[in-house]
């Protein structure tokens, strides 16, 4: 049914994303003189799973290309405008339209030679047809617990990308001190070009094929780019349908809606965790010293004006929390546009614009209370903070040299290229690395899994308090490793991880991850 691909993986150009991302791992294994067996165990994913799914796609109206308008437009000049009942169709981001056949029973439609005129445009009418999609799940490492990581629906995913992201989950779960390993997967598709019922069929078919490889104690997916709590609900239903003790399986997927045993606070958790990390960063700068830190609620956010790339789950949640605390959102870039208002943008109001049903691209573009600007202007804006919360690899050296901010807090996974990071460092722009900055999502996923296993439901206040304690103590351990400051406080003990040298935050985080992983291999040993 599925293919487990050998370690050689897909044909790839060199160096691959995975190889580039493992440079820091290799440097840190040398620094720590990590046991060679442990280093090898961690250097490649345990499983690389690839398969295809075939799904029936609804009827489509496919818009004429510019050439077709030029060559055939005249033939349809007298074709009457049709009117569709909005209940039965959806305009997709591509401009095409997905529709149910019953639209013809309840609408006023004129078709000639398979062509229809709607909203003043010409479309070919295409019947329901099957489509094949490529799917992936990479299980990197499970020495600390079940593989854990998101499912991404995006048109530019690859095995190489998922290998990189799965390994990052191994480091992230170790840093977060939660009993999980690392995994990642998804489907190569642009979800904005499918209707809700198509997404449900695609997600169910994907889970039908993925089921043999996952489980609540084996591998636990969650949302990532292009997926959400609705899709997690479909995953759970497909996974558990027909199982007698299905209620024991709820922990097979996290990021579910809180009404179906998801966790309170999960939706906002990644943005909230990012907020806590930046709060710690500010707290250290606004305090007399690391041993005399001011209380978190005394941290001032009033000089924090910020720009965000990506206004999806992570970007919008962070913006809402930070603005509530006194920060100012001045610009947002997403896949389809960039907006700027130096006087401040109301994140709740922007969220309404982005999620409105008529905004088919769910973009910040067209928001009336801010000015539309170009990407180059966005990069050069003067602000305190930049939060990348979209895709990886966007901070190249060129972008880094344009940025006029003091701090980059990585909401997205892997937003800096190696050259981009070097350029930021040379320019004295500090970075809070993704591995800790966006770990809030997986930490609250762990709480969801715990609640599912114990058949409990925690309050949002309890979730947020635990998240705050966990992420802040891990952040402070990383900070101590970076500053070579061994300490044992009532909240944490960094003395067991410092190396006798100072490091940047990203390497300090990797030191923490590798030490925690190595402990398992060393103390449990290897079976033969």
Active site residues: 184
Which member of 270, 451, 464, 476 binds ligand NAD (CB under 6 A)?
A: 270
310 near ligand NAD, judged by CB under 6 A: yes
Residue 288 sits at φ, ψ, to 5 deg, of: -65, -30
- SS3 of residue 113 by DSSP: coil
Contact segment (CB under 6 A) with ligand NAD among 73-81, 234-242, 331-339, 520-528 equals: 331-339
Kind and range of the H or E run holding 520: helix 505-524
170 near ligand NAD, judged by CB under 6 A: no
Which member of 82, 238, 309, 451 binds ligand NAD (CB under 6 A)?
A: 309
CA distance 279 to 301: 8
State the minimum distance, in angstroms, from the CB of residue 294 to ligand NAD: 28
119 contacts 99 by C-beta, under 8 angstroms: no
For residue 426, what are its two tokens? 């040379």
Spatial CA neighbour of 451 closest among 240, 258, 175, 212: 258
265 near ligand NAD, judged by CB under 6 A: no
509 near ligand NAD, judged by CB under 6 A: no
State the minimum distance, in angstroms, from the CB of residue 191 to ligand NAD: 8
Nearer to ligand NAD, 172 or 503 (CB): 172
Which member of 311, 378, 447, 458 binds ligand NAD (CB under 6 A)?
A: 311
For residue 473, what are its two tokens? 């103590």
Residues 449-488 that bind ligand NAD (CB under 6 A): none
223 near ligand NAD, judged by CB under 6 A: yes
Kind and range of the H or E run holding 98: strand 97-99
Which member of 181, 186, 216, 226 binds ligand NAD (CB under 6 A)?
A: 226
Number of H helices and E strands in the chain, helices first, is 17, 19
Interaxial angle between packed helices 505-524 and 460-483, expressed in degrees from 0 to 180 and rounded to the nearest 10: 100
Nearer to ligand NAD, 233 or 310 (CB): 310
Give Cβ neighbours of residue 151 (< 8 Å, ≥ 6 apart).
Answer: 184, 185, 186, 187, 206, 221, 222, 223, 224, 227, 231, 235
State the minimum distance, in angstroms, from the CB of residue 438 to ligand NAD: 4
CA distance 170 to 475: 17
410 near ligand NAD, judged by CB under 6 A: no
Nearer to ligand NAD, 223 or 265 (CB): 223
185 near ligand NAD, judged by CB under 6 A: no
115 near ligand NAD, judged by CB under 6 A: no
Closest residue to ligand NAD, judged by C-beta, is 312
Q: 354-393 mask for ligand NAD (x: CB under 6 A)?
A: -----------------------------------xxx--
Give Cβ neighbours of residue 33 (< 8 Å, ≥ 6 apart).
Answer: none
For residue 413, what are its two tokens? 């996974």
* Residues in contact with ligand NAD by the rule CB under 6 A: 223-226, 270, 309-315, 333-335, 389-391, 411-413, 438, 441
């Amino acid at each position: 049914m599925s293919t487990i691909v050998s370690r050689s993986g897909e044909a790839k150009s060199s160096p691959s994303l995975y190889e580039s991302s493992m440079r820091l791992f290799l440097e840190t294994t040398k620094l720590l003189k990590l046991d060679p067996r442990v280093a090898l165990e961690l250097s490649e994913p345990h499983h690389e799973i690839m398969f295809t799914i075939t799904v029936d796609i609804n009827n489509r109206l496919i818009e004429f290309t510019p050439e077709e308008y030029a060559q055939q437009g005249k033939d349809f000049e007298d074709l009457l405008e049709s009117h569709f009942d909005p209940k039965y169709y959806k305009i997709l981001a591509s401009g095409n339209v997905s529709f149910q056949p019953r639209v013809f029973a309840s609408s006023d439609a004129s078709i000639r030679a398979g062509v229809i005129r709607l909203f003043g445009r010409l479309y070919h009418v295409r019947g329901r047809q099957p489509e094949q999609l490529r799917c992936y799940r990479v299980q990197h490492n499970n020495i600390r617990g079940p593989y854990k990581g998101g499912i991404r629906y995006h048109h530019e995913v690859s095995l190489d990308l998922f290998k990189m992201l799965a390994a990052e989950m191994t480091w992230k779960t170790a840093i977060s001190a939660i009993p999980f390993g690392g995994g990642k997967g998804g489907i190569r598709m642009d979800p904005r070009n499918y209707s809700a019922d198509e997404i449900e069929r695609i997600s169910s078919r994907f889970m039908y094929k993925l089921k043999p490889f996952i489980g609540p104690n084996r591998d636990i997916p969650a949302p990532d780019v292009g997926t959400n709590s609705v899709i997690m609900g479909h995953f759970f239903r497909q996974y558990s349908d027909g199982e007698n003790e299905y209620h024991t399986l709820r922990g097979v997927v996290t990021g579910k809606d809180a009404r179906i045993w998801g966790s309170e606070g999960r939706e906002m958790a990644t943005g909230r965790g990012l907020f806590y990390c930046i709060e710690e960063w500010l707290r250290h700068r606004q305090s007399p010293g690391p041993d005399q830190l001011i209380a978190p609620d005394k941290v001032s956010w009033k000089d924090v004006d910020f720009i965000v790339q990506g206004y999806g789950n992570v970007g919008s949640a962070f913006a809402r929390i930070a603005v509530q605390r006194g920060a100012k959102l001045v610009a947002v870039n997403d896949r389809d546009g960039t907006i700027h208002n130096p006087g401040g943008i109301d994140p709740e109001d922007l969220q309404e614009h982005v999620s409105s049903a008529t905004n088919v691209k769910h973009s910040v573009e067209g928001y009336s209370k801010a000015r539309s600007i170009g990407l180059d202007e966005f990069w050069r804006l003067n602000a305190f903070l930049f939060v990348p919360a979209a895709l990886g690899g966007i901070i190249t050296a060129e972008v880094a040299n344009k940025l006029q901010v003091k701090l980059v807090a990585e909401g997205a996974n892997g937003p800096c290229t190696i050259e981009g990071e070097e350029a930021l460092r040379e320019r004295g722009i500090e970075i809070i690395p993704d591995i800790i900055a966006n770990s809030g999502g997986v930490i609250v996923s762990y709480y969801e899994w715990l609640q599912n296993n114990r058949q409990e439901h925690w309050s949002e206040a309890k979730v947020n308090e635990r998240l705050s304690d966990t992420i802040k103590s891990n952040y402070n351990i990383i900070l101590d490793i970076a500053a070579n400051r061994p300490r044992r406080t009532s909240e944490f003990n960094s003395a067991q991880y410092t190396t006798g040298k100072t490091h940047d935050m990203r390497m300090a985080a990797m030191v923490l991850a590798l030490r925690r992983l190595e402990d398992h291999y060393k103390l449990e040993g290897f079976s033969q």
